[in-house]
Structure 1
Amino acid sequence: MKRTNLRALFDPESIAIIGASPDDQKIGGRPLSYLQKYRYEGKIYPINPKYKEINDLKCFPDIKSVPEEIDLAIIAVPKSIVLETFKKCADRKVRSVVIFSAGFAEVDEEGKRLQEEISLIAEQNNVSVLGPNCLGMFNVKKSVYGTFSTIIEDEKPLLSNIGFVSQSGAFGSHVFTLARQHKIGFSYFVATGNECDVDVADCIQFLAEDPGTDVIACYIEGTKDGDKLIEALKLARKNKKPVIALKVGKTDVGMKAALSHTGSLVGSDDVFDTVFKQNGVYRAETIEEFLDVTYAASKLPFPKGNRTAVFTVSGGVGIMLADQLSANGLTLPETPEPVKEKLRDILPIAAVQNPIDTTAQISYMPTLLEDFMESVLSSGEYDSAVVFLGFAGLKLDSLNDRIETLVKMKDRFKDIPQIAVTINSETSRQIFSDAGLYVSDDPSRAVTVSKALLYFAGQQEEENEEVYLPNKDIFGLSTVLTEYGSKKILKQYGIPITEEKLARTAEEAVQYANEIGYPIVLKGMSPQILHKTEKGLVILNVKDNEEVREKFGILKTIIQQTNGAEFEGVLIQEMLKNDSVEMVVGSKKDPIFGQIVLVGLGGIYIEVLKDVSMRKAPVSVREAEKMIHELRASPILHSYRGKQPYDVEELSKLISQFSHFIVSQEEKLLEVDLNPVMVFTKGQGIKVADGLMTLEKQVIHS
């Protein structure tokens, strides 16, 4: 459910500090000190029965004695009195609360019980609660500092258009400190702690709607509510605010550590990866990448395409950049011939083929870089630029010339992101920052940033498609579905299946075989035997009536001789003879995000090659086609060596329709496996040759 009361938490007009102290080295003293030191303009109410006055402010004995309305209360008291204190805040109609105190769900069962009681009271009284066990938050523009962290002790945080939310206070402090060293500021900093109420998704939603935030950075260990997180990410994408995530908990060890740290469900890392990609989130692997990409997204436009121009003072670095850019999906188009001639006129010894080597003459010809960049970028053949300047950042006597050129080029080519690369000192980094320029210390990091900007440029909102789904009970009293039962259901949802009928006698089998037409396939059906091939219950290429009678008897005997197996019948199925590729389309129910649809190469290959593309269901036909193209094996489906292409269009429609089906039966379906799906040549369509559904639990009818 969308939060509507977060403004009181993140942009309060009045703040009460419960457990306030005149000692700015104490947890209750730091937020008071910061609010005064950095000139918070709202009202501050210190609360502590030991004092009449703190730091020239009237001090109140308890929250109920404050006469005015309170947007935010900061609770900085021992764990033993947190619940009692919070109840008083709720009774007092305080709109939001930050709880610094630790010792709750992260510690033991008693702490978990106390935390659950806080959650319940918060919900009943519509109070937004950040924490417990949290470092707090700050809003730089309004000088709201609801934190006890020492990271802002010496200087006020820098203001920028980046909102940062972290499920770990220590991680957040580390990133904040690194960011400040690189002259990167924030609009908001939030550490969510145990997330008894306000969680990372709520914070993303708030930042997605905040006019002062253009980029959202988040450190995530897990989430208790997958749907809420997805809605927040969708809102950020809709509002064109790129999200950069550092998600930990990839390995079993990491997942256990994350669970014990935040109490959030961690879930499958592959599914998190899928959800991020599906919603336009860039996933960083390291803190360095996290900061680089976040800062670049806040400073640079996104490119119109993947064509990159490289300017370099080193031929060797130019070659390295060319290799790495190409490996990351960017191209280095050849310099147009008229431009080459211009460049040779300017500097005959220059290497004018992209990557363009300005040579060391850049140090002796003040306008050389400007003339080269102007000539190349004005050609209209390039979407982005990387400018390698060696150690220019360490030569302050000549740096201003480079800065002046780069500023001119930035202003002249506003739609072309330009990444300067040079070794920096603290002074030169400040000069670049003051000039509004993005600078990287390392060419390879510049490549990563280029890749990320291209990723954001390619993000589009997923279109909504209306899909017809029958609204009726489709499972009946079933608890386990055979292939026959599964495919009967799929057929109702417009999914093309093989022509088939279930025979309960040998004579029925012969009749159905003649109606379908030889050759045919026979499959023994039993709810207790779901893996038919292993039991010898699949017979291919049956060619006449006598063989049907004989094989029917064999299949029935196998089932009857299997302990506990019930004979449902023998499936008489058309034999698919046309040229085709076997694919698998399936689903699994993730405990956090619900139904996940997947596609891969069929048969045994999906298990051997692990070549699978996944999405959170449902997906559009266009998104389904993207899933197919992501597969390493996808070239098999396309035309090659004179072979006709296969029907990717119909396969995409199947994936989309299937994804809507599994969502419509979210509560009942645990897993569905359509394997194989036969994809015929283009224009010939597809057919599901086998399918199996596993139900979550018995469907009970009144």
Structure 2
Amino acid sequence: MQNELKSIFEPESIAIIGCSPDKKKIGGRPLDYLMKYGYLGSIYPVNPNYEIIEDMKCYETILHVPSDIDLAIIALPQKLVLPTFLACIKKSVKSVVIFSAGFSEIGEEGKKDQEKITALAKKHHIRVLGPNCLGLFNVSKRMYATFSTILENEEPLPEGKIGFVSQSGAFGSHVFTLARQHQIGFSKFVATGNESDIDVADCIEYLIHDEKTSVIACYLEGAKDGNKLINMFKLAAQKKKPIVLLKVGRSDVGMHAAMSHTGSMVGSDSVYDTIFKQYGVYRAETIDEFIDVANAYAELPRMKGDRVAIFTVSGGVGIMLSDQVIENGLTLPETPQDVQNHLKSIIPIAGVKNPLDTTAQVSYMPTLLEDFMKAVLKSRQYDAAIVFLGFSGLKPDSLSTKLTSLIHIKQQFPDIPCVIVTLSNPEAKKIIHDSGLVSNEDPTRAVKILSAMNELRKSKIHLEKACANEEMEVPLVQINQLMSNHRKALTEFQSKEIVRNYKIPITVEKLALTPTEAVEWANSIGYPVVLKGMSPQILHKTEKGLVQLNINNDQEVKDVFNQLKTIIVNEEEAAFDGVLIQEMIKDHSIEMYVGAKRDPIFGQMILVGLGGIFIEVFKDVSMRKAPVSPMVAKEMVEELKASMILKGFRGKTRYDIDSLCNLISQFSFVISMQEELLEEVDLNPIMVFEGSKGVKVADALMKLS
């Protein structure tokens, strides 16, 4: 992908089709930016209405350009886009950016035209960004193929380590402008628009391999290919390129808005959230957090633990920071006693336990901050630091002294991330940034930054577990060979026969088609037994009276068999598939639920929760993309509030969690190997026995696509 997209991110030649001498027009801005910022490649204006633009020869069509073209920018009305694109294909242009709107975002007619562009791009191996997109830029190459007004400012752009991909051009411009105000630079910026060809995942892949990019920031409304996106998340983790992502569309209204904006499939937000956590992607909630975390990932060293030291000139802010540090999953260890004694010898009135309050004396003792920080961090009891300096950033003399101390600390402790909190004017922000330090004006945002750094540390462990499932193997069983009559749902008996083939333990049971056969099976299993009426049209058996417990003799079996058959036969359009004779479980157990739901974007998702009716009552559920390893399955169980019961709460007997986790993992392969065929699966309840007595699936339901 890096080679395929090189012509669009690093073109040696650019043709601007619809080029204009008017710098305020969409066709004029790319030329203005390329010239203003010093693009070193060749530029070819294309417009039949001009012979010369900016002292450059202007060509009538792309076919009249005498040289090979890496990138063509199409800035034309919608009706001219398709014939122009065909001309680009004829010219063997390598890549195209289409600014023009009027495609899938406006309705069916526009969608048809966009689909033609997609088909032509694939057929002729030409890469297309857009249509309906703001374009892209590459700071190090001084290449600006965009019409965004954010570049009208004459100042050179700060080059940074963040590669930014956005499905919204306007949102991307807003974020870019905010980041620029804070002296935060980007390596690349790309707005993908309608994604007729190049999508977010393609751009992420390019940035993963880009040497100028160390962090990838992404604004996402929806994805068409979930597995492709997951593969890029995995690749980014392997290449140690953190991804910070802002995903919109949490609410139903937001989801519909995103759908109309990008034309992407939006999907369930809870599934997206699960995918991000499972594959180590940090999800920001706000634009401020999005920018803060991306910058921190780019500039700060990685945290080795969760221990934070707070240095403050305000006792009140120190207390607030302490609360927020704990609330965000970090720890605040007390300063070692010998270090406390040393600090008290420097300034007796200081607070030295952590938070460490240097008091206002820090303004009168130039080395006080550095002395405190050096003594504390030298103890190696802390993994990160927050330094609250009040409004020092508004006072140049005060700031200069403190920055000197902070730079010394950074040099002495290069492995400990430090976030400075101070009110700052633009000049101070530039000085702080140029010093290689990370600052913020809000103490709460500073805590969130360190919380995000800690999440990055923990995500490595999660990813190792997530990738462990690739080493597992299970037998392949074709579900369609075990089903009949093309039914949309399988009975409990059919469903359990399938999971049994994957070596998942189920209750002892037999299917009887006659009362005589029922008695025979009951005697074989041993009384008491359970009888269940089987019909693929009746999925909730209990509500129809199709489950009878504690059947103790032959006559009861015959009577109940006939009773269950009568209920099914009298049910409109219900087929009678027999009666399931099942063992009556006597051993003490806890009921758990393991299920699956096929997401339209990401495929099979596996869910775990407390079983029986409690899955609906408490909604205490953990979810992952299938398949999962037993390690990840254990992680899922640990996330449940109900896990305390399984572990043996307050001296109670512990249940067989290991067997449950093996079942979860094994089942996850069942659903992932039948990705398209299974719509929904419930194993509920699963009986989890005490100690190491194992598990058994007592009921199952499969719905087919």
Name the TM tier (shorter chain).
Answer: over 0.9
Counterpart for residue 169 of structure 2? 169
Which residue pairs with 2:439 in the alignment? Answer: 439
Residues 474 and 489, structure 1, Cα contact 8 Å, conserved in 2? no
**Alpha-carbon deviation of 1:474?**
3.8
**1:317-332 equivalence runs, <5 A:** 317-332=317-332
Equivalenced residue count is: 695
Q: State the Cα deviation string for residues 3-47 of structure 1 (Å, max 9, x = none).
A: 751111111111111111222112111111111111111111111
Question: Is the aligned partner of 1:196 residue 2:214?
Answer: no
Name the counterpart of 1:413: 413
CA 1:444–1:564: 2 relative to 1, 3 Å: same
2:475 maps to 469
Per the alignment, residue 595 of structure 2 pairs with 586
Matched to 1:253, the amino acid is: V
Which residue type is aligned with residue 150 of structure 1?
A: T
Q: Is 2:147 the partner of 1:112?
A: no
Any residues of structure 2 matched to 1:594-609 within 5 Å, and which? 594-609=603-618
Partner of 2:308: 308
Residue matched to 2:78: 79
- In structure 1, C-alpha distance between the alignment counterparts of 2:607 and 2:679, rounded to whole Å: 14
Matches within 5 A, 1:588-667: 588-667=597-676
Can you list the C-alpha shifts for 1:418-450, whole angstroms capped at 9, x where unaligned? 111111111211111010000011111111111
CA distances 1:614-657 after superposition (whole Å, capped 9, x unpaired): 11111122112111112232222213211122222221211111
What is the CA deviation profile of residues 57-96 of structure 1, one whole-angstrom value per residue up to 9, with x for unaligned ones?
A: 2222211122221110001112221111110001111000
Paired residue type of 1:639: G
- Please state how far the C-alpha of 1:510 moved relative to its aligned partner: 2.6
The answer to whether 1:695 aligns with 2:701 is no
Aligned mates of 2:55, 2:693 — CA distance in 1: 82
Match of 2:239 in 1: 239
Partner of residue 259, structure 1 = 259
The CA distance in 2 between the partners of 1:659 and 1:228, in whole Å, is 20
| SS of equivalent residue, structure 2 residue 137 | strand
Aligned to 1:35: 34
For the structure 1 residues 590 and 379, does the alpha-carbon distance in structure 2 shift closer, same or farther, using more than 3 Å as the test? Answer: same
Name the residue aligned to 1:54: 53
C-alpha distance in structure 2 between counterparts of 1:212 and 1:628, whole Å: 40
Aligned to 2:145: 146
The one-letter amino acid of 2:476's match is P
User: What aligned pairs does 1:61-140 form with structure 2 within 5 A after superposition?
Assistant: 61-140=60-139
Q: Which 5+ residue runs of structure 1 have no aligned equivalent?
A: 697-702
One-letter code of the match for 1:590? Answer: D
Mapped partners of 2:482, 2:23: distance in 1:
65
One-letter amino acid of the structure 2 residue matched with residue 149 of structure 1: S
The C-alpha deviation readout for 1:267-286, integer Å capped at 9, x for no partner, is 11111111111111111111
Amino acid corresponding to residue 317 of structure 1 in structure 2? V
Deviates most, 211-220 or 109-118: 109-118
- In structure 1, what is the Cα distance between the partners aligned to 2:421 and 2:613? 48
SS in structure 2 opposite 1:386? strand
Deviation at 1:140, TM superposition (A): 0.4
Q: Cα distance, 1:293 vs. partner?
A: 0.9
Alignment partners' CA distance in 2, 1:488 and 1:639: 32
Q: Which residue of 2 aligns with 1:505?
A: 514
- TM superposition shift of 1:505: 2.4
* Cα deviation code 1:674-697 (max 9, x no counterpart): 11111222312111110000011x
Aligned-partner residue type, residue 437 of structure 1: L
Q: Deviations over 1:170-193 (max 9, x none)?
A: 111111111111111100111111
Q: Give 1:523's aligned amino acid.
A: K
CA deviations on 1:587-609 (whole Å, 9 max, x unpaired) are 11111111111111112222222
Aligned to 1:337: 337
2:550 is the alignment partner of 1:541: yes
For the 8 Å contact 1:467–1:657, the answer to whether it is kept is no
Amino acid at match of 1:593: F
Match of 1:295 in 2: 295
Contact residue 469 and residue 661 of structure 1 kept, 8 A: no
Q: TM-score, normalised by structure 1?
A: 0.97
Q: Structure 1 residues 579, 412: CA separation in 2 closer, same or farther (over 3 Å shift)? A: farther
Give me the identity figure in percent: 60
Output the CA distance in 1 between the equivalents of 2:577 and 2:98. 61
Query: Match of 1:456, as an amino acid?
Result: L
For residue 700 of structure 1, what is the aligned residue in structure 2? none
Note the aligned Cα RMSD (angstroms).
1.5
| Letter of the 1:41 counterpart | L
Equivalent AA in structure 2 for residue 628 of structure 1: V
Does 513-522 or 401-410 show the bigger shift?
A: 513-522
Alignment partners' CA distance in 1, 2:399 and 2:699: 68
Cα distance in 2 between the residues matched to 1:511 and 1:584? 31
Deviations 1:664-683 (A, max 9, x none): 11121111011111122231
Residue pair 2:477, 2:502 contacting (<8 A) in 1 also:
no
Ranges in structure 2 where 5+ consecutive residues have no aligned partner: none
On the 8 A contact 2:533/2:579 being kept in 1, the answer is: yes
TM score, norm. by length of structure 2: 0.96
* Structure-2 separation of matches of 1:332 and 1:219: 33
